[in-house]
Structure 1
Amino acid sequence: MAVAVETFFLDENYGGTLQKQLQEIVTSGILSGRFLPGERMPSSRKLAAHLGISRITVTLAYTELLSNDYLTALGRSGYFISETAPLPPRFEPSAQNGENQVDWSRALGQRFTTYSGVGRPLDWRNYKFPFIYGQTDASLFDHGNWRRCALQALGQRDFEALTADYYDQDDPKLIEYIVRHILPRRGITARPEQILVTMGAQNALWMAAQILLTQRRTAVIENPCYPELREILNQTRCNTLSIDVDIDGISPDAIPADADVVFTTASHHCPTNVTMPLDRRRALLNCAEKHDFVVVEDDYEFEMSFLKPAYPALKSLDHRGAVIYIGSFSKSLFPGLRLGYMVASETFIREARALRALLLRHPPGHIQRTAAYFLSLGYYDAQISRMSKIFAQRREVMFDAMQAAELHIAGQNSFGGSSFWMAAPTGVDTTQLSLDLRQDGVLIEPGAAFFHPHAVKANYYRLAYSSIPASRIAEGIEKIATAMRKTGYT
């Protein structure tokens, strides 16, 4: 028998090349059992004509499938499904297979699905006005050089970095670059033994909470704050105290004497964007010494200080080793990278290293080595410079548009960043407003999730300019203002 040419369809939304898509169609057909060993494939000419693609594309796909033993060639007879093609194991479905046999409401010891953070649709790129935070702008990312670094990391010379089980260690090239180039920009001096690579900042926050907190200890967080941090602390069952931030961030005077850990985003508060002045940073460290608590500093977006140079990190002022510093490449490169780092005393890092080894061993070696090349070859700094210039332009355009539309800015970073913290008139529910705006192609981030659950301020929201071109900003801002006027609260 022959595989009918009509069974082949191309997906216009497929993320790869036509050749790769065709290979995937054939391999999935074989692995699912739809294409059987010995069946004849359509000729390259016939399949190309059916799909409306070049014949060479089909020929290249067939050649690749031939080399991987999915197809076999029989002289002038054409291509056939290989008799030795890889096949998945087959099992008869069990009549008892199902979830109704277990009372999961009783069996589950903990629940994590109750949490809902700052939501955004997965297809956010299809919206014309995506004022959402932390996503990658494809026009700004240096894809070509990242690909070159990834290919270099796949080379024979880096075979050990690619394939080895580091167990609890990290890529020495990446650690060296962090020590010699990244940390000095924040005024931090550290040894390799004081650094741990993480799967992003959120993974670092989770490890810090697991190591430092118990049910009998007290954690202090900012209000509003990064929503996922509050949920991380809830899972530790520690006593959590939320302290409202002012125009200078969290106030040391409001921190109780029995605090064990204080979490702060001193350089760029999430989400208000305020920056803690140097004198308050010193006061916070003095308070930490007086009451003997540890400070966890999440120093996200420090690279985006395009308006004026950033203040030194809180960790750079720490002479007691009381600050655990968290940095991330996920915001400056792309969120899917999931690569960050922690800097702390050697004693803490040893515990964090052991915890990470139990959980996930280590971040993938290939990712670490690719990032190390991208950093050391200067591509990272070039990308940061390019992003800073574009963000500065977009920020100016957005600021002018919001002023013209009479939208109220509740907080903005005088150093740069990639977003504005906004306040709608009292009475406006920005969660509902965000749903209404989606119908008009506009995405905003409601602010409710950032606040303590018992003190939610429903009229706040965040507008970011990292994912939207400058040419669309003014029109999008006007749509927000129009929708807000329709609420009747303006």
Structure 2
Amino acid sequence: MPIPPEAFILDRSAAIPLQLQLRRQIIGAVIAGRFRPGEKLPSIRALAGHLGVARVTVAQAFAELVATDYLTSRDRSGHYISEGIELGPEAGPPAPQAARFDWGQRLDGRFAQAQRRDRVRDWRRFRFPFVYGQADPELVDHAAWRDCAVRALGRREFASLTGDLYGEDDPELIDYIARHILTRRGIRARPEGILLTLGAQNALWLISQVLLGPGRRCAIEDPCYPGLREILAHSGAAVHPVAVDAQGLPPDAIPAGVSAVFTTASHQCPTNTTMPLPRRRALLARALQDGFALIEDDYEFELSFAGATSPALKAIDQSGAVIYVGSFSKSVFPGLRLGYVVADPGFVAEARALRGLSLRHPPGHMQRTLAHFLSLGHHDAQMKRMRRGYGERRAVMLEAIGQEGLDLARDGATGGSSFWLASPVPARALAQTLRARDVLIEPGWPFFADPARGDGFFRLAYSSISAARIPEGIRRIATAIREARA
């Protein structure tokens, strides 16, 4: 008996293309045993008419399934479920109910407990999402990225991408990072001093695992990047928060006896303060004097709106104490999840060995696609477009903040994609109030070692909201603050 057209339903509100939905339905039905080998599918005309789609949509779906042996095509007869599909064994009658395995006795939840709980996964449904770390798809060159992906998967390069790199990295990508990306920060590095990672988060984890452990001590900025505190919570090391000032991390406040110090000198997270050159030199001198490693997370260095950027700590480090962390998450797109570590070759060799134990290396096809994206000039063009777009949004937000009487917690911040504001009312409660008004802000508590200190601050990012919506969003924030104060 033929499979009736009514067996198929498409969801037009879903982001998944209709052709892909149809293919998935047929594959799912075959695997589940609802469609059996030899059964005939509706004709292309009948199924297209039932679903209200073009015949070419059904025809393309059928053609893809024929190519993957889920369907067979018979001349003048139609399409049938393939006889050659290997299905799993029959389930048979249900087994008697057995006692459930108790995972609660074997899991202590220490990793889940350390995770941030302030992030809103469905942030796109809000009209005014001042959310940090999310890119505007309109600023990403989709066509260029697709072209580079096609190049990477071409026959000429496919053989090298399908092999196991045994812990090594794509030489073309490493070469471009060394000769173009790092030189813009004043850094000179050889390939043996560069390691690719799955973003900056993975880089910081690798560094903490190599350098720290029970009995070790480290220092971090306060406030700081919450993801770093999550990582260090599982390192076993004693963590010492050091309060930042208007120039970033003060070297004299670093406690004695630490093995590593983590800093965001270019754009302090979350205040966006840029550490001046004299303090950078003082910090390097302290590292050399006390013998601690200095980990520089140089995120968003491309987004500077005040002329030339200051040289990276790594660029002026003569002793080799600095471990530099970079990422393409902000300059390409967050979902890419590719970053890099630049350090002494001895450290890189140890970190590479650790990376090999968990993931060998980042996916080869993503590495080669990014190498093409960089070498063909698409990355530079995209950064110009992002600086232009973010510069406009930054100016609009600054004007709106001034007009509504909101207070910048750090004056003089000249880069990044967000502002750090002082809150005259508890920021956590303010964030909850604003959600009901279609506005998302980031309250300050996750950034501080003492969450109570963060209730006086919140962060507003402009990477994920259009310039046209910024003034109204700022007005709603100011209105909510006035109401709370009254």
Pairwise TM-score range, normalised by the shorter structure: over 0.9
Task: Give % identity.
Answer: 54
Taking the aligned partners of 1:89 and 1:330, their CA distance within structure 2 comes to: 44
User: Is the contact made by 2:442 and 2:460 (CA closer than 8 Å) also made in structure 1?
Assistant: yes
Distance 1:157 1:75, change over 3 A: closer
Q: Secondary structure at the match of 2:460?
A: strand
Distance 1:388 1:86, change over 3 A: farther
Distance 1:455 1:430, change over 3 A: closer
Residues 248-276 of structure 1: per-residue CA shift (max 9 Å, x gap): 00100001221110000011100010010
Deviation of 1:415 after TM superposition, in Å, equals 2.9
Q: Secondary structure at the match of 2:137?
A: coil
Deviation of 1:412 after TM superposition, in Å, equals 5.6
Range that drifts further, 119-128 or 389-398: 119-128
User: Is the contact made by 2:444 and 2:458 (CA closer than 8 Å) also made in structure 1?
Assistant: yes
Deviation of 1:456 after TM superposition, in Å, equals 3.1
Structure 1 partner of 2:229: 230
User: Is the contact made by 1:161 and 1:369 (CA closer than 8 Å) also made in structure 2?
Assistant: no
Structure 1 partner of 2:87: 87
Structure 2 partner of 1:299: 298
Q: Secondary structure at the match of 1:320?
A: coil
Range that drifts further, 7-16 or 207-216: 7-16
Q: Is 1:469 paired with 2:462? A: no
Range that drifts further, 18-27 or 468-477: 18-27
Structure 2 partner of 1:20: 20
User: Is the contact made by 1:118 and 1:445 (CA closer than 8 Å) also made in structure 2?
Assistant: no
Range that drifts further, 10-19 or 436-445: 10-19
Q: Is 1:487 paired with 2:464? A: no
User: Is the contact made by 2:152 and 2:365 (CA closer than 8 Å) also made in structure 1?
Assistant: yes
User: Is the contact made by 2:445 and 2:452 (CA closer than 8 Å) also made in structure 1?
Assistant: no
Q: Is 1:127 paired with 2:126? A: yes
User: Is the contact made by 1:10 and 1:51 (CA closer than 8 Å) also made in structure 2?
Assistant: yes
Query: Which residue identity is paired with 1:471?
Result: A
User: Is the contact made by 2:261 and 2:295 (CA closer than 8 Å) also made in structure 1?
Assistant: yes
Structure 2 partner of 1:31: 31
Taking the aligned partners of 2:366 and 2:428, their CA distance within structure 1 comes to: 37
Q: 2:456 aligns with which of 448, 459, 466?
A: 459
Taking the aligned partners of 1:340 and 1:229, their CA distance within structure 2 comes to: 15
Structure 2 partner of 1:429: 426
Query: Which residue identity is paired with 1:270?
Result: C
Distance 1:222 1:95, change over 3 A: farther
Query: Which residue identity is paired with 1:317?
Result: I
Structure 1, gaps ≥5 residues long: none
Taking the aligned partners of 2:384 and 2:133, their CA distance within structure 1 comes to: 17
Q: Is 1:440 paired with 2:424? A: no
Residues 322-372 of structure 1: per-residue CA shift (max 9 Å, x gap): 000000001111111110000000110010000000010000000000000
User: Is the contact made by 2:211 and 2:260 (CA closer than 8 Å) also made in structure 1?
Assistant: yes
TM-score by length of 1: 0.95
Residues 410-436 of structure 1: per-residue CA shift (max 9 Å, x gap): 1366332100011110xx222222222
Residues 163-217 of structure 1: per-residue CA shift (max 9 Å, x gap): 1111110000000000100000000001100000000001000010001012111
Q: Secondary structure at the match of 2:220?
A: strand
Q: Secondary structure at the match of 1:297?
A: strand
Taking the aligned partners of 2:145 and 2:9, their CA distance within structure 1 comes to: 32
Taking the aligned partners of 1:413 and 1:50, their CA distance within structure 2 comes to: 62
Query: Which residue identity is paired with 1:466?
Result: S
Deviation of 1:157 after TM superposition, in Å, equals 1.4
User: Is the contact made by 1:149 and 1:373 (CA closer than 8 Å) also made in structure 2?
Assistant: yes
Taking the aligned partners of 2:353 and 2:194, their CA distance within structure 1 comes to: 13
Deviation of 1:133 after TM superposition, in Å, equals 0.5
Distance 1:128 1:435, change over 3 A: same
Structure 2 partner of 1:204: 203
Structure 1 partner of 2:331: 332
User: Is the contact made by 1:205 and 1:229 (CA closer than 8 Å) also made in structure 2?
Assistant: yes
User: Is the contact made by 2:115 and 2:230 (CA closer than 8 Å) also made in structure 1?
Assistant: no
Structure 1 partner of 2:115: 116
Structure 2 partner of 1:288: 287
TM-score by length of 2: 0.96
Query: Which residue identity is paired with 1:459?
Result: G
Range that drifts further, 268-277 or 86-95: 86-95
Taking the aligned partners of 1:56 and 1:404, their CA distance within structure 2 comes to: 55
Alignment of 1:36-47 (within 5 A): 36-47=36-47
User: Is the contact made by 2:169 and 2:196 (CA closer than 8 Å) also made in structure 1?
Assistant: yes
Taking the aligned partners of 1:455 and 1:286, their CA distance within structure 2 comes to: 33
Deviation of 1:59 after TM superposition, in Å, equals 1.3
User: Is the contact made by 1:420 and 1:463 (CA closer than 8 Å) also made in structure 2?
Assistant: yes
Taking the aligned partners of 1:97 and 1:269, their CA distance within structure 2 comes to: 55
Taking the aligned partners of 2:144 and 2:124, their CA distance within structure 1 comes to: 23
Deviation of 1:457 after TM superposition, in Å, equals 2.3
Taking the aligned partners of 1:96 and 1:238, their CA distance within structure 2 comes to: 45
